[in-house]
Amino acid sequence: MRALIDAIIAKDNPSVVGLDPKPALIPPILLNSARTVRDVAEAYFAFNIAIIDAVYDIVPAVKPQIAMYEALGPAGLDVYVRTNEYAQTRGLYVLGDIKRGDIGSTAAAYAAHIEGTPSINGVGSTDVWHEDAVTVNPYLGSDGILPFVQAANNSNKDIFVLVKTSNPSSNELQDLRVDGFAHTVATQVAELVEQWGENSRANKYGYSRVGAVVGATHPVLGAQLRTLMPHTFFLVPGYGAQGGTADDLAGLFDENGLGALINSSRGIIGAWKHTDEAETIRTELQALNLVATSARQAALAMKNDIARVRA
């Protein structure tokens, strides 16, 4: 987690831009000439590059949501990888939002996301995904998570485990009261996350390589989780378009204004849609410029909005 925290401090900004392209967020002119799924994927790539170039000096990280690329099949995933690679060349920490989870031997295969491909005969381990961290799903318990923890330790990278997600129906399982009602499923996962990170917290910040996903849409529970998980860095979705406000974030930071990375996707990458110029785009270049300038403004506004509530 150290590389991420260093970057947050260097840019004085604990926010991350979600690179979640989908047709409704792309200026139509960029899709007009698309005739194949690969063309659509290439439009996503151009869109992403415009955004990365516009925000790389403001934000420490980007969070591409792999589902948006996976929706286009292998051509989309190719663009996911190239987006990650480009973001890394711009000095950004790339947090792959992949939410993978499976039994031990399968989780070990997924852990190639951060550790590289298996080494086979003449073919050495290769970093094919270009991610600095990934999100993972805890439903299968420790043996689905520990291969990722080991991969993170081996490769100096990080993971973020889903604890309490930002969506409305996150209550259905995550808020179930367990263990004589002293806990919920989410707080039980929180305790496991602290355990999974136990061996990687000895660094100057005290945060382990095992982070947690905690939605901005549950500020009271979020503050409780902050106390319950003193060595766990939070990835916080749900700010902005999903309804979370800066005030909802206050309890997620530690006393140094660290401990949480706040995500915004649509609020940044779709900011161009709320400009007057959106109606008068005539060329692809105009479209990309508008996407870029709007994303930069929105990223700066978000930085200032959050700065208000950091300790």
Task: Name the minimum Å distance from CB 132 to its own copies.
Answer: 16
Segment contacting its own copies by CB under 8 A, of 49-57, 85-93, 105-113, 246-254: 105-113
Contact with its own copies (CB under 8 A) among 10, 12, 28, 203: 28
Contact with its own copies (CB under 8 A) among 45, 129, 234, 253: 129
Using CB under 8 A, which residues numbered 141 to 170 contact its own copies?
141-144, 162, 165-170
64: part of which helix (H) or strand (E)?
Answer: strand 61-64
Nearer to its own copies among residue 91 and residue 168 (C-beta): 168
Segment contacting its own copies by CB under 8 A, of 137-145, 199-207, 268-276, 286-294: 137-145
Among candidate residues 63, 41, 6, the one with its CA nearest the CA of residue 236: 63
22: annotated active-site residue: no
Residue by residue, DSSP assigns 146-189 as: HHHHHHHHHHT-EEEEEEE-SSGGGHHHHT-EETTTTEEHHHHH
Can you tell me the distance from the alpha carbon of 159 to that of 197, in angstroms, rounded to the nearest whole number?
Answer: 10
Segment contacting its own copies by CB under 8 A, of 187-195, 223-231, 254-262, 297-305: 187-195
Residue 36 interacts with its own copies (CB under 8 A): yes or no: yes
61 token code pair: 């990280």
Burial string for 114-138 (b: 16+ CB within 10 Å, else e) reads bbbeeeeeeeeeebebbbbbbbbbb
**First-last CA distance in the chain:** 20
| 74 SS3 class | helix
Nearer to its own copies among residue 77 and residue 223 (C-beta): 77
Nearer to its own copies among residue 104 and residue 257 (C-beta): 104
The label of the residue with tokens 């997924």 reads: 110
Task: Name the minimum Å distance from CB 36 to its own copies.
Answer: 6
Nearer to its own copies among residue 46 and residue 58 (C-beta): 46
Binding-residue total with its own copies (CB under 8 A): 73
User: Active-site residue among 22, 99, 273, 303?
Assistant: 99
Residue 122 interacts with its own copies (CB under 8 A): yes or no: yes
Report the Cα 217 to chain-centroid distance in Å.
Answer: 16
Nearer to its own copies among residue 129 and residue 272 (C-beta): 129
Residue 172 interacts with its own copies (CB under 8 A): yes or no: yes
Using CB under 8 A, which residues numbered 42 to 81 contact its own copies?
65, 67-68, 70-75, 77-78, 81
Could you tell me whether strands 133-136 and 260-264 are parallel, antiparallel, or unpaired per DSSP bridges?
Answer: unpaired
**Alpha-carbon radius of gyration of the chain:** 19
Task: Name the minimum Å distance from CB 171 to its own copies.
Answer: 7
Residue 101 interacts with its own copies (CB under 8 A): yes or no: yes
Residue 230 interacts with its own copies (CB under 8 A): yes or no: no
Helix residue spans in the chain (DSSP H): 2-11, 28-31, 37-55, 66-70, 74-89, 104-110, 112-115, 142-155, 171-174, 185-196, 219-228, 246-249, 266-269, 284-307
Residues with catalytic annotation? 99
